[in-house]
Structure 1
Amino acid sequence: MSDRMDVDGGDPLTVLITLREEIESTEDSDLISAFYTLEDLYERKLWYQLSEVLSKSIYRDDNSKPIRLRLFENFVLSFGDKLNQLKLVEFLLLSIDQSNALDSLEYLNSLKERITAYGLKESKQSVEEDINDNEVIQALIFVEIETARIKLEMGNIDEATAMIDEGSKKIDQLTNSVDNRVNASYYRTNAQLMKINGDYSAYYYSSLLFLACITDLGELQNKEQIVKEICVSGLLGEKIYNFGEIIMHEIFQYLKDDWLKQLIVALNNGDLETFTKVVHSKDIQSIPDLASNIEFLQQKICIMSLIEIVFNKPTNKKTVKYSEILDHIPLLKNADDVERMTMKCLSLGLIKGLINQVSSEVEISWIQPRTMTMDQIVNMKKKMSFWSDRVQELNDYMSDAGKELWV
């Protein structure tokens, strides 16, 4: 085992007092008070309560950053086998947040050895593959995926990819529910790999899955950058034709670029007018990947406009004339454009139906389910109210007609 993560043999309480004295200069009364609480809980051996104070009061406080790693090495590890092993990994990740990649890898490797030794002891086994403690197994997966993430940052793509694939297999083999921290780590790391590979669609979906694992968005770092990258990947993703999930997510409020918000909402609603204004503005030039893919975005808005036309039609009238499509979507010039766009929709699985060239119309039998925004939900409510009224009218008619039969 590396010496880097060995406890230095000093008394943990002495370590706490030394670190507390160091942070007293910050005049952070809450943090100082939390250290006194740690001392009390440690003396009483209340390990769970102690870990809660570390998690909620110490590691959440920005003033603790300079001393986190020493706190972990010289205090937390002294009772590491008394803690939830996933929590132990979490504390290390917060402690090495400011460390360079090589040091981070060394710390992770050392912790992996400690957790493995603990797991072998608890499972009474001698081979790592035979560890049967679910908490330990997930903690080891957690460490491996975080190791892969750092290797990605270092540019070791092939090695990191193999580790991510192996982590995915191990997660699939788990018989118990997977801890959210493990899922979040996997989806974040996989999203990072997809970004490197230039797979916008996969990056978008992995990022949404990552966000689904975050219980407290306030703890997430770089929210503005994350939501911006998700939105851009959604716009450029060849398989992304619904943005309801990101628009309705809490993180969307952290998107600072109003023009990008407008572009996302316009595409989701098939709003060609707003879309045209945004793509012809100077703002879009700030993101070269978008500026160089205007033609693709125009194809996407045409498809979304068609979907919106069909979606807003009454349930019993899902047939759309070519002329109606051309009127609503000026980017399409003729019947050939309409047919090409419709075939694209069919091939993407966005709709099911037929192209009737003789009658110059498109007959839609199914639209891919999608996450709706509040405005779309309001429109759906109106449609449901209309449908309910028609059903009531039919019910009243059948009731009146039935009376005549019985008479």
Structure 2
Amino acid sequence: MSPVDITVVALEHLESMSTLHPDLSEQYSNLVGLYQRKLWHQLTMSTLEFVSQPSSTLRTTAEGVNSYLALFDKVILPIDKKLNPLTLARIASAVAFSLLDDPPYRDGLAARAILENFLEKRDRLGPAATLHAESRLGLLGLTLLARSGEALTTESSIKALEATKELINKNRPILAELADTESEAAIVHSAFYETAMTYRKAVGPPEAYYREAIQYVAYTSLNELSQAERFHLATDLSLAALTGEGVFNFGEVVAAPALQCLEGTELYYLVELLSAGARGDVLGFQRVADAHAAAIQMQPSLVSRAEAVKEKITLLALVNMIFERPSLERTLSFEDIADRVVVPIDQVEWVIMRALSLKLIKGTMDQVDQTVDVHWVMPRVLDNKQMSELATRFGEWAVKVSKTKDYMLEHTGALLNQ
């Protein structure tokens, strides 16, 4: 099609939709004006805003076609080389999502086809690394390649998930090439981790979901998510932290703004469990668990991994006990450890060995004297109280260093004067 024909088709479509849907006349007229003046940046941004509001702007054409799909096919795709590739990819994702969410369609295959065809077309435009990364990762950004599998048969869903896994693995190295300081890097990172998080939620394990989800919340504004999406994200993240193998940095989760939406809900006990674990408070954790025993029984992951969660809280109690000690006072007796982590003294040796094997601590154990000398404890996110205690400790250390310096200067001067 010639450039003139492309323009005619695009403007005729926009004007016909403006007439067909008077309530959207202003938005469509705006797109007509931007197209006529060849203000491509403004056109892409206005189109992205338009297709990001399906509750108020999604309609059908006179032929009964999804209006976003018609807009994409007749107006946007023919001029794609003039548009920002990342914004274009986000438009494509929004259009594809509308096919999943629009009741007359709910067509996962058609939605995936839009994205896959778009990816293939963008890859043919040139080998430029930035273009490749922005178009492909921007598309991954709205997770359709993962979510569309939910609308398919079981066999197709498995194939969709495998295809998603392949895309995630293929694009992870590209993600590393995008510096955080780049203007649209946050969008691309959020895009990638949302897809990876969605995939891991479907196939597990919980620790893999946790790693992707904690990255996702770091790059994503919660204002972009609905209340329901924030609630489900907070729930899944909490359960993954509690049950995920090797996940011990509970402070990182408790500090995440996403968990605030659980406050005042029936699942707030998850936050209380995480907070008690982050403090290494075994008795506090048990009190919360006992108070919400019925609710916990409704969470299969907590029930099936109850022993693993109990072990994790015990180990965190040991970690926090060591952290609270000054660096020169980290020789702990088995008896003191038994009191703090709430285990019989004959199990303390196992607790220490487990912590050493998981590299939560480093040190040496004396089985004769029943002590452990710890010289390193794992770094982690601290709460305000722990930060305050650490600041106090630094202050005491600074005073000791200053006194030592004064002592050395005084005695060095005395020696020189002899």
- How high is the TM-score relative to the length of structure 1? 0.82
Rounded to whole Å, the distance in 2 between the matches of 1:211 and 1:202 is: 15
Q: Match of 2:209?
A: 203
**Deviation (angstroms), 1:352:** 0.9
> Are residues 363 and 60 of structure 1, via their aligned partners in 2, closer, same or farther at CA, if it must alter by over 3 Å?
farther
Query: Does residue 269 of structure 2 align to residue 259 of structure 1?
Result: yes
**Deviation (angstroms), 1:314:** 0.6
Q: Do the aligned residues in 2 keep the contact of 1:152 with 1:193 (CA within 8 Å)?
A: no
5+ unaligned residues in a row in structure 2: which ranges?
60-66, 180-184
SS of equivalent to 2:372: strand
Q: Match of 2:63?
A: none
Q: Do the aligned residues in 2 keep the contact of 1:81 with 1:118 (CA within 8 Å)?
A: no
Q: Match of 1:268?
A: 278
Q: Match of 2:250?
A: 243
Query: Does residue 113 of structure 2 align to residue 109 of structure 1?
Result: yes
Q: Do the aligned residues in 2 keep the contact of 1:112 with 1:140 (CA within 8 Å)?
A: no
Query: Does residue 308 of structure 2 align to residue 296 of structure 1?
Result: yes
SS of equivalent to 1:349: coil
**Residues 377-407 of structure 1: per-residue CA shift (max 9 Å, x gap):** 2221111111111112222332333444344
Query: Does residue 59 of structure 2 align to residue 48 of structure 1?
Result: no
Query: Does residue 131 of structure 2 align to residue 135 of structure 1?
Result: yes
**Deviation (angstroms), 1:356:** 1.0
Q: Do the aligned residues in 2 keep the contact of 1:108 with 1:143 (CA within 8 Å)?
A: no
Q: For 1:225, which of 213, 232, 243 is the aligned residue?
A: 232
AA partner of residue 320 (structure 1): L
Q: Match of 2:182?
A: none
Q: Do the aligned residues in 1 keep the contact of 2:92 with 2:114 (CA within 8 Å)?
A: no
Farther-moved stretch of structure 1 (359-368 vs 182-191): 182-191
**Deviation (angstroms), 1:10:** 7.1
Query: Does residue 97 of structure 2 align to residue 93 of structure 1?
Result: no
AA partner of residue 299 (structure 2): I
> Are residues 384 and 23 of structure 1, via their aligned partners in 2, closer, same or farther at CA, if it must alter by over 3 Å?
farther
Q: Do the aligned residues in 2 keep the contact of 1:235 with 1:264 (CA within 8 Å)?
A: yes
Q: For 1:369, which of 375, 379, 389 is the aligned residue?
A: 379
Q: Match of 1:285?
A: 297
Rounded to whole Å, the distance in 2 between the matches of 1:239 and 1:311 is: 19
Q: Do the aligned residues in 2 keep the contact of 1:305 with 1:329 (CA within 8 Å)?
A: yes
Rounded to whole Å, the distance in 2 between the matches of 1:377 and 1:398 is: 31
Q: Match of 1:313?
A: 325
**Residues 100-128 of structure 1: per-residue CA shift (max 9 Å, x gap):** 497343344345435544653x44xxxxx
SS of equivalent to 1:239: coil
**Deviation (angstroms), 1:9:** 9.4
**Deviation (angstroms), 1:321:** 1.1
AA partner of residue 395 (structure 1): K
Rounded to whole Å, the distance in 2 between the matches of 1:355 and 1:22 is: 79
Q: Match of 1:164?
A: 165
Rounded to whole Å, the distance in 1 between the matches of 2:122 and 2:149 is: 28
Rounded to whole Å, the distance in 1 between the matches of 2:20 and 2:357 is: 64
**Deviation (angstroms), 1:294:** 3.3
Q: Do the aligned residues in 1 keep the contact of 2:108 with 2:148 (CA within 8 Å)?
A: no
Mapping for residues 341-380 of structure 1, pairs under 5 Å: 341-380=351-390
SS of equivalent to 1:316: helix
AA partner of residue 328 (structure 1): R
**Deviation (angstroms), 1:313:** 0.8
**Deviation (angstroms), 1:226:** 0.8
**Deviation (angstroms), 1:268:** 1.0
**Deviation (angstroms), 1:192:** 3.0
Aligned length: 385
Farther-moved stretch of structure 1 (143-152 vs 161-170): 143-152
Rounded to whole Å, the distance in 2 between the matches of 1:286 and 1:23 is: 47
Rounded to whole Å, the distance in 2 between the matches of 1:136 and 1:196 is: 27
**C-alpha RMSD of matched pairs (Å):** 3.1
SS of equivalent to 1:13: helix
Farther-moved stretch of structure 1 (216-225 vs 304-313): 216-225
